[in-house]
């Protein structure tokens, strides 16, 4: 008979109970990864002061080895990103559509982590590339993690995931010389696009100002694909997801984006980080477009076609909750870089549809995480862990973090009493939608996917005149970079199927003779297929234009967290300065004092005023508006510097609001920025975003309009 063991003493704790994470730097000593304290972190172990480094220096080897391996493969797409923590709060339960608990409990604040990104560039590219922006949200819900992985554009380039590698290969730098970086303005991209007319709707979006947002905080987000809601009764609804920014949607000018890339390629990253650090927490409403399953085929497009959107005039967006980002990551690599999103991370009440792009994404994301994070245990990395217990029989693998003490790792079992058990649907177990399927296996595409131009035209028709001009200019720039003339001509020919004026304008800018598009148009189908079936068609749209598709038709007037440059100098009138600073603060904007030199300046009453930036370190492209306050007339050469003139003229050229008071207004007139809008000889007035000797409130109102694009018609700033 085995001898009975003595009970374990209370002080004999498990190793896991004794382990601590003291990586906070508060009075801690340096140590190796095994906990050995280090007394010299400056010098390697040598054979004498000037001798060879010894192989036995295990502290050096550990440090260098970790350094050599601390980079992981970057994402193939969405490599450059920025993230933040926050919470999601529900406005009202939507149990009639879905049984997902986080969408039915208004008392709960669901933690989230959001990652924004560019798509085509590598990790070292610029934030301001003309590109789609990723908008991925991980909800840490009481039923497990739910990932809503989308973009800032509601549609996509392709209809079937089979074409995704081709798309990415085409837009990436050309393989023979690895150029250009983070840009679509090159031959391989436009060669592919001009042969794939299903991309036309997405191309209209990427050539619009949506592809150069002012801030991550000022862009919409979309789930892109059509998903499915399931309620407690098992009833199904189709759903499209939207994120609506509380600050409105805003863009930068294309030339401005190019300059920002040189001045501050981290512009969007910095903007998000600083906004959160200063308490200007970004907010978005979560909106849904819900379609009963019985209405699936009532539209003039296919709900499962990812190159199509549902106009908000046809199915309004219901705003059901609010997301607030309120905390920056503690460590970029551990959180923003290691977070792993997957559209297959679902909770009960949300399911897939047969959207062929979505179906392919379900495979791609898991495969990518295995490669990038090096292990099937990527879900155990802290940023990826759900807030609910994880109980299953999956074991081992590289970098396993969980220490399992169970005696079994299989199901069913009797040794562990059958645990962990399968959950019934009534107990929260996930169950896929029981969709009836009666079809043959086939490689083909539904004819309902064949209309490639109607919504591209709808998007273009929905833009204001300045927005349409920006699209024309974007096509001109991008196709102007294409070296092979036949690709340019083919692409311009296809534009005729979107809008004749668009085609004619781009053709004129490129010196191309307007011609009929090549036949067949659609080269993305098998050569032996019925080309007539795949010939892109145009269906009559139920609406001619959609206000929701234009940014300029949806300006909300808020200037919260906008950054205003205040150009100052010694002798600045403190009354003029402080009145404007107070008005901007009340409106929630951030004013930055800019002078010729860093440090401080002296106001007209002798007060020392702290300078935020010197003129040589910043440029107008980094700010939303400019104010030039009054100064003491006795102050010699007040604001008379070449850098000031360039700063103001550049802001005028980029259509930004400008205000000037007193002597500041005289400076504005002297450099002739005001001459073009007939305010040179006026002592006070407002026109096209220029405020001369008006109230601070008038300037705040002008900033709320964001830009005054009508200035672009002046063609130049100075005479």
- Place 669 in a pLDDT band, splitting at 50, 70 and 90: confident
Tell me, yes or no, if 78 is annotated catalytic. yes
Average pLDDT of span 16-30: 65
Q: 3-state class of 600 per DSSP?
A: strand
For 339-364, give the DSSP string.
----TT---TTEE----HHHHHHHHH
- What is the sign, positive or negative, of the torsion defined by CA atoms of 357, 360, 361, 364? negative
8 A C-beta contact, residue 576 and residue 603: no
Selecting among 104, 151, 328, 384, the annotated active-site residue is 151
| Helix, strand, coil shares, percent, the chain, to 5 | 30, 15, 50
Mean pLDDT lowest among 203-212, 322-331, 593-602: 593-602
- Place 680 in a pLDDT band, splitting at 50, 70 and 90: low
What is the reported pLDDT for 637? 73
Which residues in 40-62 are b (16+ Cβ under 10 Å) and which e?
eeeeeeeeeeeeeeeeeeebbee
Element (H, E) at 504: helix 500-510
**Assigned token pair, 443:** 């490689």
8 A C-beta contact, residue 712 and residue 655: yes
pLDDT one-digit tens code per residue, 76-106 = 999 999 999 999 999 999 999 999 999 999 9
Which residues make Cβ contacts (< 8 Å) with residue 186, sequence separation at least 6? 173, 174, 179, 180, 481, 482
How far apart are the C-alpha atoms of 296 and 285, rounded to whole Å? 26
**Assigned token pair, 91:** 């406005």
pLDDT one-digit tens code per residue, 510-531 = 999 887 887 888 887 776 767 6
Q: Looking at the predicted structure, is the pLDDT value of residue 444 above 90?
A: no
**Assigned token pair, 668:** 């504005």
8 A C-beta contact, residue 32 and residue 41: no
Q: Which residues pair with 591 in a beta bridge?
A: 564
Q: Looking at the predicted structure, is the pLDDT value of residue 501 above 80?
A: yes
SS (H, E, C) 372-441: HHCCCCHHHCHHHCCCCCCCCCCCCCCCCCCCCCCCCCCCCCCCCCCCCCCCCHHHCCCCCCCCCCCCCC
Q: Looking at the predicted structure, is the pLDDT value of residue 214 above 80?
A: yes
Structural domains of the chain, with CATH: 81-186+213-286+318-384 (2.40.180.10), 557-714 (3.40.50.880)
What is the reported pLDDT for 10? 47
- Place 17 in a pLDDT band, splitting at 50, 70 and 90: low
pLDDT one-digit tens code per residue, 618-635 = 999 999 999 999 998 777
Q: 3-state class of 712 per DSSP?
A: helix
What is the reported pLDDT for 25? 57
How far apart are the C-alpha atoms of 204 and 196, rounded to whole Å? 14
pLDDT one-digit tens code per residue, 460-485 = 999 999 999 999 999 999 999 999 99
pLDDT one-digit tens code per residue, 387-431 = 999 988 888 888 888 888 889 988 898 999 988 988 898 988 888
8 A C-beta contact, residue 691 and residue 673: no
Tell me, yes or no, if 379 is annotated catalytic. no
- Place 674 in a pLDDT band, splitting at 50, 70 and 90: very low
What is the reported pLDDT for 717? 41
**Spatial CA neighbour of 44 closest among 61, 32, 28:** 61
8 A C-beta contact, residue 505 and residue 492: no
What is the reported pLDDT for 719? 37
0.75 surpassed by pTM = yes
């Amino acid at each position: 008979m085995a001898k009975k063991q003595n009970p374990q003493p209370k002080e004999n704790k498990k190793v896991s109970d004794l382990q601590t994470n003291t990586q906070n730097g508060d009075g801690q000593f340096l140590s190796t990864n095994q906990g050995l304290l280090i007394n010299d972190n400056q010098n390697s172990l040598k054979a004498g002061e000037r001798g060879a480094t010894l192989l036995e220096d295990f502290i050096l080897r550990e440090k260098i080895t970790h350094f050599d391996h601390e980079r992981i493969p970057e994402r193939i797409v969405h490599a450059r990103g920025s993230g933040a923590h926050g919470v999601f709060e529900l406005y009202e339960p939507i149990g009639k559509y879905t049984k997902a608990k986080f969408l039915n409990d208004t008392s709960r604040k669901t933690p989230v982590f959001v990652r924004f990104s560019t798509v085509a560039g590598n990790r070292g590219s610029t934030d301001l590339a003309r590109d789609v922006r990723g908008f991925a949200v991980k909800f840490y819900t009481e039923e497990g993690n739910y990932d809503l992985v989308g973009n800032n554009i509601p549609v996509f380039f392709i209809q079937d995931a089979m074409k995704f590698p081709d798309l990415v290969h085409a837009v990436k730098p050309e393989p023979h010389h690895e150029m250009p970086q983070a840009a679509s303005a090159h031959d391989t991209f436009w060669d592919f696009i001009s042969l794939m007319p299903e991309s036309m709707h997405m191309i209209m979006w990427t050539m619009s100002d949506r592809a150069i947002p002012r801030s991550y905080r000022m862009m919409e987000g979309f789930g892109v694909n059509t998903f499915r809601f399931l309620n407690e009764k098992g009833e199904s609804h189709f759903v499209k997801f939207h994120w609506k920014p509380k600050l409105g949607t805003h863009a930068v000018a294309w030339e401005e984006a190019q300059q920002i890339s040189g001045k501050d390629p981290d512009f969007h990253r910095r903007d998000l980080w600083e906004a959160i650090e200063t308490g200007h927490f970004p907010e978005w409403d979560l909106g849904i477009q819900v379609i009963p399953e019985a209405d699936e085929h009532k539209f003039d497009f296919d709900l499962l076609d990812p190159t199509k959107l549902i106009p908000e005039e046809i199915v309004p967006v219901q705003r059901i909750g609010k997301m607030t980002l309120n905390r920056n990551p503690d460590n970029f690599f551990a959180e923003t870089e290691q977070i792993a999103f997957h559209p297959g991370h679902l909770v009960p009440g949300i399911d897939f549809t047969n959207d062929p792009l979505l179906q392919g994404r379900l495979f791609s994301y898991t495969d990518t995480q295995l490669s990038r994070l090096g292990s099937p245990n990527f879900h155990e990395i802290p940023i990826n862990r759900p807030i609910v217990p994880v109980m299953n029989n999956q074991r081992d693998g590289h970098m396993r973090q969980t220490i399992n003490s169970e005696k079994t790792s299989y199901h069913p079992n009797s040794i562990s009493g059958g645990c962990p058990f399968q959950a019934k649907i009534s107990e929260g177990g996930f169950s896929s939608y029981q969709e009836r399927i009666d079809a043959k296996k086939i490689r083909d595409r539904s004819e309902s996917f064949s209309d490639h131009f109607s919504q591209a035209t709808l998007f273009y028709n929905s833009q204001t005149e300045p927005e349409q001009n920006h699209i024309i200019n974007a096509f001109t720039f991008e196709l102007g970079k294409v070296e092979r003339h036949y690709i340019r001509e083919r692409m311009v020919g296809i534009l005729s199927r979107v809008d004749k004026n668009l085609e004619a304008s781009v053709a004129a800018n490129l010196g191309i003779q307007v011609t009929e598009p090549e036949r067949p148009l659609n080269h993305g189908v098998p050569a032996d297929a019925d080309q007539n079936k795949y010939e892109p068609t145009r269906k009559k749209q139920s609406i001619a234009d959609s206000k929701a598709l234009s940014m300029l038709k949806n300006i909300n007037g808020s200037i919260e967290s906008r950054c205003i440059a205040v150009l100052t100098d010694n002798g600045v009138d403190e009354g003029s300065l402080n009145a404007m600073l107070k008005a901007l603060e009340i409106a929630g904007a951030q004013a930055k004092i800019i002078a010729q030199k860093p440090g401080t300046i002296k106001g007209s009453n002798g007060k020392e005023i702290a300078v935020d930036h010197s003129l040589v370190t910043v440029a107008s492209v980094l700010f939303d508006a400019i104010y030039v306050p009054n100064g003491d007339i006795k102050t010699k050469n007040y604001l008379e510097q070449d850098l000031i003139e360039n700063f103001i003229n550049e802001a005028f050229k980029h259509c930004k609001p400008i205000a000037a008071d007193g002597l500041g207004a005289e400076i504005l007139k002297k450099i002739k920025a005001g001459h073009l809008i007939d305010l040179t000889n006026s002592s006070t007035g407002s026109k096209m975003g220029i405020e001369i000797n008006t109230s601070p409130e008038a300037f705040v109102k002008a900033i709320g309009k964001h830009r005054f694009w009508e200035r672009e018609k002046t063609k130049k700033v100075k005479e």
